[in-house]
Structure 1
């Protein structure tokens, strides 16, 4: 496959993003649902591609829809690459607060977030053991799909593509991408329903009327007077473009992650791997180690970057671009045939995951979060059904003037949350763990973890009288 085809495939994706934005501006219901443009563009590419339009044609005409098979093949490979950029960006330029403050402010949401994530493993594995494996023949690894897709999102699901294939569960990739789409849709739609409910029932201390949602929030277009730069130039273009410099830092982070992963693979093979025939790290994807590489780069910068060359807004811009292209390419290359062949397990996983998230948010939110429980908990709900961006969006709708500590607490939570679940090390290793050790031992472990964080949230954080 030539580089020209790769470049043209990316250009078509960029054009589809613009078309998706125009569609969102013209269709009010899409604005009310707050659907990301990347998801709209992905749906459009899916409809015009081989899985929909291609199957409606006969005699080989438009087999790949309006695209080519090579383009679709490029799109299928992009998410696994782009997720490394997304995770490498998580902590570069992020000033870490003192651990005590991080725990005090973000602790309740750490407890709630972890409880939801571990509980997703619990119900997912139980559903798999009792229904999906015995009646539908799905791999026991399907028990990890709810957490991978709902908390991890499209990026994590895409990053695990090779892991699914190497462990003999190739259909897990398409199921995970499909579930991630269900997660985002349910997170936004159900989240907005609960925002309206909270406004009418007085559950929110910051949002009084559903009509308070601004034009900017609905359309995604920022008014001229509110616009700001996507980044600050910290280096002179005469020496190096600031954007290129920040891309270089991200590249170094990914390379460090690659070296670390290869070192663990070698160490595993040299120690218990060959002796016990247990291999985990060779199935773990690169992206969680790219995140660790980013942390290492940030630690180095915090000690030696005397000129403050790193601009967090620029890093966020690069991360956002990678995430947009990741989602649209994952949707564009989604196999509806695989989902159709496993439609009942897919529906069961979707229903169980959504019901669990709603219950835990409404039941545990008031018990774990001592103040502004709805403003803060809605962020955890959004993340547990979609991605962190969904949670942030819902928090901004509920608290547009940032009157509550929700955003700060959510940010602190991510520092202790993302490295482990929601795409972190545990999420990446969950499928290999289930395959290597069996579903029952993993189920026992996640039940214990769910109980521990449930008790931490209700008996410790929930008993605090005030937020300070």
Structure 2
């Protein structure tokens, strides 16, 4: 493949992102679902690629025809297939760069109830997933016990985490896990928004909300995904002068350094395992760990370093958000457009069982546990964690914005603090990254016992500690 061909595949990305945005602006029902343009563009590319349009046209043209791959050339698909696994490292490296990390007591007091609820839901996804795998998926459909981790990977982790684990799935002989996880992540986003809006309307009718009394307050521009004129603020702050270095270049370099630190940490762990316990146990556990959780740790280390030595606050959080958002758009579009429909079709019943079980657990947790674990504004605060447990962080933020448009509750502050404790472990953190290798190495039962214990601890802390603080 030539550099020109690689460049063309990247230009193609821009085309589908723009088309996705245009469709979002024009189609009302997509606006009501608040679907990101990257999701729309990814579905369009999937339909116009070799798996849908290509197969249809293959019935009418020869095997060598251009149309057998649809509008997506083999070179485009080859590049797009590896992009999700690369971009997830940038997404996680930026999680804490430029962020002010408050004291642990403040995090616990404000974000603790939402952390306990999210912790219970996240580990509970492992519990029900592994039980489903042991009792149904393995004996009746031949899937390995590792399939039990797919609900948390696809729902809590989202497309990014699933993409980051692609290499791990392949190395462990379960390459189908990647496509199933991407499919679950897509179902999670769609069902998260739909179920979230249904729950908000239900809560208004049942007088469960403390803030809003209807959901008709969004402007037409907001539904189209366009910022209202009066709310247009700078996307980022210029912390350095462009004549010295372009601010975007500086921040991108810092992100690259964070990923590099993560890479060096991973290589050190692989070396350490080979030189110590790995030499005696013939273990290669560390080789299965993906890079992205270590890139997150690299970002934390870089941020701590700059906090100590930099009194000019050179890292701008908003700029990091823009880099993260750009990377996530590319990741989602390419992940959806390259997912294998053949794999999902082959495992359609297990896929539906995983999706249905995951959705049922999340809804149960929100309706039954959230009111008993979150002492005040349970709906406004819990709906964000519900959205994240179904899709991605952006889904949770969207639902919180609908339920609390003027930020009158502690929902956003608590959600932000909860992420500082939650993200390093679940939702794409270390536990999510290690779950599949751990199940492969140790078996499903030990990990199930761990998941049950963690789920119970989260539930007890939420119910007996935070839940008792109801005013």
Query: Which bracket does the TM-score occupy, shorter chain normalised?
Result: over 0.9
1:195: how far off?
1.0
Q: CA RMSD in A?
A: 0.9
1:6, 1:200 → 2: CA distance? 53
Partner of 1:350: 355
1:277: how far off?
2.4
Listed as ranges, the gaps of 5+ residues in structure 1 are none
* Deviations, residues 271-311 of structure 1 (Å, cap 9, x unaligned): 11121123321101000000000000100111111111111
TM-score (norm 1): 0.98
Partner of 2:433: 428
Which secondary structure does the structure 2 equivalent of 1:314 belong to? helix
2:251, 2:53 → 1: CA distance? 40
Bigger Cα displacement from structure 2, 277-286 vs 72-81: 277-286
1:242, 1:212 → 2: CA distance? 36
2:212, 2:52 → 1: CA distance? 42
Aligned length in residues: 466
1:447, 1:4 → 2: CA distance? 52
2:180, 2:269 → 1: CA distance? 29
1:216: how far off?
3.9
Partner of 2:251: 246
Partner of 1:22: 22
Partner of 2:314: 309
1:90 aligns with 2:95: yes
Q: Aligned ranges for residues 327-346 of structure 1 at < 5 Å?
A: 327-346=332-351
Partner of 2:158: 153
1:332: how far off?
1.1
Q: Is the 8 A contact 2:215 2:402 kept in 1?
A: no
Listed as ranges, the gaps of 5+ residues in structure 2 are none
1:270: how far off?
1.3
1:202: how far off?
1.2
Partner of 1:140: 145
1:215: how far off?
2.8
TM-score (norm 2): 0.98
Q: Is the 8 A contact 2:222 2:228 kept in 1?
A: no
1:67: how far off?
1.5
Partner of 2:10: 10
Q: Is the 8 A contact 1:217 1:397 kept in 2?
A: no
Partner of 1:364: 369
1:407 aligns with 2:412: yes
Q: Is the 8 A contact 1:279 1:436 kept in 2?
A: no
Partner of 2:454: 449
1:6: how far off?
1.6
1:214: how far off?
3.0
Partner of 1:52: 52
2:404, 2:242 → 1: CA distance? 39
1:237 aligns with 2:235: no
2:451, 2:301 → 1: CA distance? 29
* Deviations, residues 436-455 of structure 1 (Å, cap 9, x unaligned): 00001111111111111110
* Deviations, residues 201-256 of structure 1 (Å, cap 9, x unaligned): 21111110121233343111112221011111111111100000000100000000
* Deviations, residues 365-404 of structure 1 (Å, cap 9, x unaligned): 1000000000000010000000111001100111010000
1:3: how far off?
2.0
1:389, 1:435 → 2: CA distance? 31
Partner of 1:324: 329
Partner of 2:468: 463
1:348: how far off?
0.4
1:31 aligns with 2:28: no
Q: Aligned ranges for residues 58-207 of structure 1 at < 5 Å?
A: 58=58, 59-60=62-63, 61=65, 62-207=67-212
1:32: how far off?
0.6
Partner of 2:401: 396
Which of 277, 284, 289 aligns to 2:282? It is 277
1:465, 1:187 → 2: CA distance? 27
2:25, 2:228 → 1: CA distance? 14
Which of 218, 221, 230 aligns to 2:226? It is 221
